[in-house]
Chains A and B, each alone.
Chain A
């Protein structure tokens, strides 16, 4: 394996006809890093991955490994010469070959000796806990086992970059979690530079060193799992990582204490206070200030699990009426509508909350909730839209 320090993707763009699947994609990652492309289906994450492998020619941009240019949209190193490994959602094992032959496929192409091939295949199968399976055919194995063979088939070649395209999406929930642990352990052990594509935020948060959130081919945010989770760059990212309450609001008042922006917003006449963790010079902060000046509408972002039942000092209180309760074991997902504060009119806004099951709520119940000012984010970026389509609708 050729050693390297960084892989850099510079302004990579892919157009299919007049549709842009990947737009101005720039990203650097270091050796050993685990980077995840996260986004809903159709956001271009798989296309971006395939562009990096060279399987899809890029329209413009460049890809470098250290100083070696492997793709500048005119000339490229073909995929088979890049020494990358790829794992597919549907496993893509060769059905006519045994597990041993599948794993040995790449080694044989490299004309290694028989003993060497045998030894490395054995080691790779041991790494994925499939020692006894060498003679089986893929069709005789479960999905999880097949995917482990696919992983072994890649890592046996010690690739410079390992690319996984939704590798767990075809598996059932239990296997998905098991294999996720194994992937994590494998990465801890081998430190293979990895790009992982998924639409599942849990997988992204659990596995990644860094997450790249994509929407319609454009990077929305790059950050560590905790940055993405607690400090989303815009409403799209917020919605995608679980800030399900995107209410329309207006900023009534604003002040700054010790660098923290404190705003008072009105949602349907209900006054809510929010402390925004946006640092000086942040785009989100500038947008909020601008929205306050111009009186434009803003959107909130609140996690369902941050809405509590009861009344606490220093917290915002909001009276709702439960319209739909989904029991989920340890907690219940509750959709509740809240009426305009001045009394008149229909209940139009909907609160989604995640309540401990000990709190009994039935449909139609009045629920007095409390939300901490620290748990409310406010976005004023006009271009930011929620990923979910029905964030505002209350199902009844």
Chain B
């Protein structure tokens, strides 16, 4: 009976296993294989050596980090106070949430297209700024670093905000009251009680936002300068794969991408475990 039950449980696991193997493990392993071989299938480190020797490709790491790290800090940094102020619910919360979710549902391309016309040199925003005499000539919001940052902010902030809102509104209001009764001001209560309890949520929101921003592609192409200042690492991989048709080189670049993301995620998780030592044993708030 017991054995039958166990194999039955394994059987139930099968669909998930199939998914993981087919959609993640196999492509990943194949990519790793490609990155370590020449087009004829012989083993080589050449793809990686070429990437690190090519100054133009190597610079994409710095370019991508210089976009994704500030964007992630801005998104999570804004999400913390916003979620704090909305933790007990505010008037019009549903509408605010709706408008935050819209950019996610529309998708990157549509948002980028919208930004191009709205924030472009002849767009409404620049016309308004000129009428108000804030700027003399159209301010460049698009086709530069700023355009990519704004687009990633629109896309990433809602994720970070909604995730942290779930975290902070799950913290019992009695903890805040208790802290206050013990003599802590609102600010002290935030830093000594709420923030430490939000750390796990902040860490996850940071990781997700960073991965999304680091693998940016459409907005870097549409809103940035894909040949120069916003030539991010995914553009390099794309060019090797679909312009030079060298999948081996492209695979090695995506492996480098994955490695950098893993390094950043590890740093964040180490920070989390240092800051929130009660994490592993705390079940209830």
Contact = CB atoms under 8 A, between A and B. Distances in A.
Given A80-B180, A109-B182, A137 B282 contact: yes
Interface stretch (B47-55, B170-178, B214-222, B253-261): B170-178
Contacts of A90: 172, 174
Nearest to B189: A80
A64 interface: no
Interface string B156-188: 000000000000000010110111111111001
Given A96-B278, A96-B282, A105-B192, A157 B183 contact: yes
Given A55-B177, A86-B177, A86-B178, A95 B282 contact: yes
Give the size category of B's interface with A: 20 to 34
A190 B283 CA distance: 34
A230 interface: no
Given A96-B197, A109-B188, A157 B182 contact: yes
A139 B283 contact: yes
Contact of B178 (A92, A96, A157): A92
Contacts of A278: none
Contacts of B192: 105
Contacts of B284: 95, 139
A105 B278 contact: no
A95 B278 contact: yes
B285 A80 contact: no
Given A96-B282, A105-B192, A137-B281, A80 B183 contact: yes
Contacts of A348: none
Nearest to B279: A96
A79 B182 CA distance: 9
Nearest to A146: B284
A53 B181 CA distance: 8
A80 B278 contact: no
A367 to B, nearest CB: 49
B285 A95 contact: yes
A80 B181 contact: yes
Contacts of A86: 177-178, 181
Given A105-B192, A154-B182, 9 more contacts: A55-B180, A79-B177, A80-B180, A80-B184, A83-B183, A94-B175, A96-B278, A96-B279, A139-B282
14 contacts: A55-B177, A55-B181, A80-B180, A80-B181, A80-B185, A86-B178, A96-B196, A96-B279, A105-B179, A109-B182, A109-B184, A139-B282, A150-B178, A157-B182
Interface of B: 172, 174-175, 177-185, 188, 192-193, 196-197, 276-279, 281-285
Interface of A: 53, 55, 78-81, 83-86, 88, 90, 92-97, 105-106, 109-110, 137-140, 150, 153-154, 157
